[in-house]
Amino acid sequence: MSVPEPDPLRQIRPDPRMDMLAPIAILEHLEARLVDALAQLPLAAPGGMQSVLLSLPRSPAAAPQLVGRQFQFQHAQRGELHAGYGEAIAWQASGPARLRTLADALAETHWRRADIDETGFDAFAMLGFAAGDEAAPRVDGSLPNAILWVPEIGLVCRDHEAALVFSTPLPAPPDAVLGRWRRALRQLVPALFQPPTGPLTPARLTRVGEDPDAAGWTGLVQAALARIDAGPIEKVVLSRRLEVQGPRPFDIGRLLGALGCLFPSCQTLSLRRNGQSFVAATPERLLDLRNRRLEIDAIAGTAPRAESVAGDAALRAALLGSDKNLREHRVVIDAIRTALADCCDAFRVPDTPQVMQLTNAQHLWSPITARPRPGVGLFELAERLHPTPATNGQPRNDAKDWIRHTEPFDRGWFTGAAGLLRPDGTGELWVLLRCARVAGAHAELYAGSGIVAGSDPASEWDETEAKLAAMLSALQYA
């Protein structure tokens, strides 16, 4: 899609005195600027969407948790925060053509933007989808199978600068648009600059269910090994679901804050619709597409962390020298090459993997880059790459069919993907790992492990326990 046209509203400059204003004055200032902006926008245009960007005097410490539909993406190490409140428009889809359906919806929408403060930011939408393409994940009734969601108000923060993004479908009566945006502002602005909530005293979590249990896991791994031995499957990824109960309702803001502190190099995110929240802290990008450059994380092969420097170094060296883990990693790289061979050029893959060290685990990691051919967009790339061998197995369709008929529960959005999409169709998607579905004081956690020839059920169980520990640790402080 085309870049935003020059807009006469760009001549308006923010008032430098805003840095000193209290939230009530900030609210009044933003409302006045909205009135001026709406008077000059083509709200009577037949179809499409209009977004308006207004700068904030300072960047909030965190995105407030408000009542209603909301999403949030934050990467502590990169200093980036995006949040969306309400819903200007949302397209939903399911089935094998779900991403193509959403791609068509975006392509048919003329998305106008007016960056009246010259913030340099852009409007954005949330794109996300479940692990499978079935019409509705049985495990999670709060999220559709796939969704492209433009929030009514977006919050974007980067490098200590921040802006709000107001969006509406067209045509739209100016008075109705102003009324909606004012109501949303009056709820959001007073909460933006409140001091962030700190962690609570650690709570004891009670395990109330798991699927499969330890004995069921052993049987599942043995069945996978037998299937691998029979061919043609080289790898299959098995998952566990753990249910926990806390002594108090979990606070999503505190949970995200704890995840950001514990895992600053991960993408933390939450999606809330219909009263439930899906939360993740994932180290793995499915893809990042910008300026005709594609970046992909190939992550597979895991080892624990040690308390001592020497012990940690020994585990790292063992991971780099492990035949089993290196074979598992190579399967992922080969699958990415195969999936993109006829739509991308200029592949660059490191000769040897690096080690990505997280708080509770370390993984073999190969950052891959490529150049998509003309006409190849994010939706097509996502469809080709998902599900990855790191979350599904290889060959893809054989592994997916075996998992669908053998795994004892529906994954829902676990091992799906979610991320942010710009109006021009570029953006970044993350594989949904280290996940929890949270409602009140109850949470369902998910983790998986890749099975290849030579895998040991007990070791793979320990690997899933280490991955579950990421969310369990954060939930204690929420």
Residues 6+ positions from 443 with CB-CB distance below 8 Å: 243, 244, 245, 246, 250, 436, 437, 471, 475
Q: Give the confidence band of 344 by pLDDT, cuts at 50, 70, 90.
A: very high
The answer to whether residues 344 and 376 touch, using CB atoms and an 8 Å cutoff, is yes
pLDDT given at position 19 = 44
Length of the chain measured in residues:
478
Question: What's the pTM value of the predicted model, to 2 decimals?
Answer: 0.90
Is residue 138 pLDDT above 90, yes or no? no
| 261 phi/psi in degrees, rounded to 5 | -70, -40
Top-confidence residue, 330 or 221: 221
Q: Give the confidence band of 206 by pLDDT, cuts at 50, 70, 90.
A: very high
pLDDT given at position 437 = 95
Is residue 453 pLDDT above 60, yes or no? yes
Pseudo-torsion of CA 253, 258, 264, 270, nearest 10°? -40
pLDDT given at position 123 = 98
pLDDT given at position 136 = 54
pLDDT given at position 1 = 40
What is the rounded average pLDDT of the residues 22-51? 90
Is residue 4 pLDDT above 50, yes or no? no
Pairwise CA distance, residues 306 & 361, whole Å: 9
pLDDT given at position 126 = 98
pLDDT given at position 62 = 86
Pairwise CA distance, residues 54 & 34, whole Å: 9
Q: Give the confidence band of 122 by pLDDT, cuts at 50, 70, 90.
A: very high
Q: pLDDT (tens digit, 9 = 90+) per residue, 222-247?
A: 999 999 999 999 899 999 999 999 99
Share of the chain above pLDDT 70, in %: 94
Q: Give the confidence band of 13 by pLDDT, cuts at 50, 70, 90.
A: very low
Q: pLDDT (tens digit, 9 = 90+) per residue, 380-409?
A: 999 999 998 889 988 999 999 999 999 999
Q: Please compute, for residue 72, the number of CA atoms within 13 A of its CA located in the half-sphere on the CB side.
A: 27
Is residue 8 pLDDT above 80, yes or no? no
Q: Give the confidence band of 141 by pLDDT, cuts at 50, 70, 90.
A: low
Q: pLDDT (tens digit, 9 = 90+) per residue, 268-284?
A: 999 999 889 999 999 99
Is residue 15 pLDDT above 60, yes or no? no
> Among 73-87, 137-151, 231-245, whose mean pLDDT is lowest?
137-151
pLDDT given at position 21 = 54
Top-confidence residue, 428 or 141: 428
Domains along the sequence of the chain with CATH: 8-192 (no CATH), 207-476 (3.60.120.10)
Angle between helices 378-385 and 98-107 in degrees, nearest 10: 170
Residues 6+ positions from 472 with CB-CB distance below 8 Å: 205, 244, 445
Is residue 253 pLDDT above 50, yes or no? yes
What is the rounded average pLDDT of the residues 426-448? 96
Pairwise CA distance, residues 310 & 317, whole Å: 11
DSSP state for residue 122 in the 8-state scheme: -
The answer to whether residues 131 and 414 touch, using CB atoms and an 8 Å cutoff, is yes
Per-residue tokens: 234:
């080289």
pLDDT given at position 249 = 96
pLDDT given at position 274 = 85
What is the rounded average pLDDT of the residues 368-378? 97
pLDDT given at position 462 = 93
Question: 14: how many CB neighbours lie within 10 A of its CB?
Answer: 18
Is residue 171 pLDDT above 50, yes or no? yes
Per-residue tokens: 360:
């509770």
Catalytic residues: 235, 284
- Terminal CA-CA length for the chain: 41
Question: 101: how many CB neighbours lie within 10 A of its CB?
Answer: 16
Q: Give the confidence band of 135 by pLDDT, cuts at 50, 70, 90.
A: low
Pairwise CA distance, residues 345 & 466, whole Å: 37
Top-confidence residue, 253 or 136: 253
pLDDT given at position 229 = 94
What is the rounded average pLDDT of the residues 446-462? 93
